[in-house]
Homo-oligomer: A and B are copies of this chain.
Amino acid sequence: MAKATKQPSKIAAERKPAPTKRSASAKVSAQEHTGAEDDVNITALDLASGKLSPEMDAYFKKCDEKLGFVPNVLKAFAFDNAKLEAFVAYRQQLVQNAETLSKLEIEMIATAVSSQNRCFYCITAHGNGVRALGTPVLGEMMVQNYRAARLSKRQRPMLDFAVKLTLTPWEIEEADRETLRRSGFTDRDIWDIASVAAFYNMTNRLASATDMRPNSVYHGQAR
């Protein structure tokens, strides 16, 4: 199947985790945007390759086995193994260990937040997550305008909170938390929603600052 050609060579990809700065002559005609370059030149920064710890090396291998590739954000961090480990651990604790939020709900928040910040890397990676865990149409709605989705009485206020927290955090007040509580969320859930939304406000900016590129394989998945 043609799409297989978009997938980066697994072996090459995992052996060279650190990005090399992309060439200056990167402008291409519209028809040439195959995404292939995005799998090689991951960020706009020229950072020398670091050495992965055995744990991180194993983690990259596990990604490759499960997903067929190592997400570029991990490779981008790999110039410094200590930063990579801290990032992976933080994401585990502050995003993935939410108490009642489902994996799909986490991906919905990640995508809706990233859409507000127009982050190419994160919209691509997490839009894919919503498509895979929810439906392809729901993924597109989270990317384009989450208000277009007909959401449950739990998920709409959850996203309203996450998006307001993204756009005008200084306007979040007790009334906003009360809306979440009335929608069935506990105070721990409020922490988790905030924590996920805040995390992607961070990665959106790290990705935009470095022109981080998503693995091209994401684009065709779960369509």
Interface status of A118 (Cβ within 8 A of chain B): yes
A207 to B35, CA, bound (A): 31
25 residue pairs bridging A and B, Cβ less than 8 Å apart: A27-B153, A30-B134, A31-B134, A33-B134, A33-B150, A45-B187, A45-B188, A86-B92, A117-B170, A118-B144, A120-B144, A140-B219, A143-B143, A145-B170, A147-B173, A165-B208, A172-B209, A172-B211, A173-B211, A190-B209, A194-B205, A195-B206, A198-B201, A198-B206, A198-B209
Residue of A46, A152, A216, A219 with most chain B CB atoms under a 10 A cut-off: A219
Interface status of A155 (Cβ within 8 A of chain B): yes
Q: Is the CB of A86 within 8 A of B82?
A: no
Interface status of A93 (Cβ within 8 A of chain B): yes
Interface status of A58 (Cβ within 8 A of chain B): no
Find the B residue at minimum CB distance from A176. Answer: B209
Q: Is the CB of A198 within 8 A of B194?
A: no
Q: A-side binding surface: helix, strand, loop or mixed?
A: helix
- Among B144, B145, B219, contact of A136 (Cβ-Cβ < 8 Å): B219
Find the B residue at minimum CB distance from A48. Answer: B188
- Binary flags per residue of A205-223, CB closer than 8 Å to B gives 1, else 0: 1101111000010011001
Q: Is the CB of A45 within 8 A of B204?
A: no
Q: Which residues of B contact A198 (CB under 8 A)?
A: 201-206, 209
- Binary flags per residue of A118-148, CB closer than 8 Å to B gives 1, else 0: 1110011000000000111110110111011
- Among B27, B89, B135, contact of A151 (Cβ-Cβ < 8 Å): B27
Find the B residue at minimum CB distance from A107. Answer: B30
Q: Which residues of B contact A143 (CB under 8 A)?
A: 143-144
